[in-house]
Amino acid sequence: MTASWPADKVERWPVAKLVPNARNARTHSDEQVTQIAASIEEWGWTIPVLVDEAGGIIAGHGRVLAAHRLGLEDVPVMVAAGWSESKKRAYMLADNKLTLNGEWDLDRLAIEIAELRASDFDISLIGFSESEIDDLLKADEDGAETGAGALAARFMIPPFSVLNAREGWWQQRKSAWLALGIQSELGRGESAVIGGAPMPLDRAKAGKPSAEPGGSKMPAADYRKSHARGDGRGRAIDPQG
């Protein structure tokens, strides 16, 4: 490992000093440059341009194009000192390709976009087109509709609506129940609905305690008492606030 990295020292260089590399295989459409410029206006400059000692751009061609469009005089840079030509050319490819190798968790992506849209944030700034967003949210809604019964059976308290399945409170509850080791079989078969939560009756009829997620035991009467109050959306209210 090297003693220092380019990112250890960020400097401000004049945009006019930064020279695009003619061998750069990554292209930037006018639309993308416009998007990058809009993101800089919203969040400021968050990633320095990587250059060699002479100002040759190694990574950040799109950001430099956006800087020209915005009329910026200088921008943050970091210098890759002592890199060979092969190393610089290889990094130009790696910087783009390694990012492309990542994948989206589509469920979480849909949740994030839906919540940003609900907050009135300008989601055009995140780079997704309206058609991409509409397709993503439609697919997520379809999945929530077809899986509603499974959610109710597995997590005992179903989403209040299809939209609730994407909200933070439901996702947090889902994660908490999964962490407790709840089994999908819990709640199947004959059951009673108590405060919006299906309650297995086979053990209650037999006078045996019901299974509590995570393996502990709780008598049915105590379970009913602890879940008798709710907030109108199927969530139990903690009596201690």
For position 59, which CATH number holds?
Answer: 3.90.1530.10
Of 56-70, 78-92, 171-185, least confident by mean pLDDT is 171-185
User: Torsion angle, CA of 6/11/15/21, rounded to 10 degrees?
Assistant: -10
Task: Write down the pLDDT at residue 166.
Answer: 54
How much of the chain exceeds pLDDT 90, in percent? Answer: 45
Measured at the alpha carbon of residue 32, what is the angle toward residues 28 and 34, in degrees to the nearest 5?
120
64 domain residue, yes or no: yes
Q: What integer pLDDT is reported at residue 35 of this predicted model? A: 96
The answer to whether the CB of 89 falls within 8 A of the CB of 80 is no
Note the pLDDT of residue 140: 63
Total length of the chain: 241
75 within domain boundaries: yes
**pTM score, two decimals?**
0.58
| pLDDT higher than threshold 80 for residue 68 | yes
Does 43 score more than 60 pLDDT? yes
User: Residue 175, SS3?
Assistant: helix
Sign for the CA dihedral angle at 84, 87, 93, 99 comes to negative
Residue 172 pLDDT: 65
What's the farthest any 2 CA atoms get from each other in the chain?
Answer: 82
Q: Is residue 39 part of a domain?
A: yes
- 108 located within any domain: no
Would 189 be classed as within a structural domain? no
Give the range of the structural domain holding residue 20, as residue numbers without chain letter.
7-100
Distances (CA, A) of 67 to 9, 103, 135: 21, 29, 32
Q: Is residue 60 part of a domain?
A: yes
Confidence of residue 181 (pLDDT cuts 50, 70, 90): low
* Long-range CB contact pairs, 202-211, < 8 A, 24+: 211/186
Residue 129 in domain: no
Quickly state the pLDDT bin for 63 (edges 50, 70, 90): very high
Q: How far are the Cα atoms of 118, 124, 128 from residue 165, in angstroms, in the given order?
A: 14, 24, 22
Q: pLDDT tens digits, residue range 126-169?
A: 999 888 888 888 876 665 544 444 444 444 444 444 455 555 65
Domain count, the chain: 1
Quote helix, strand, coil % in the chain, to nearest 5: 50, 15, 40
Contact in structure between 180 and 201 (CB atoms under 8 Å):
no
pLDDT in tens, 220-236: 444 444 444 444 444 44
For the stretch 70-126, pLDDT in tens is 999 999 999 999 999 999 999 999 999 998 899 989 889 999 999 998 998 999 999
Domain membership flag for residue 71: yes
State residue 3's pLDDT score: 75
Residue type, position 146, single letter: T
Residues 6+ apart with CB under 8 A from 130: 124
**Phi and psi at residue 62, to the nearest 5°:** -65, -40
- Supply the pLDDT for residue 141: 64
Assigned token pair, 207: 């006078």
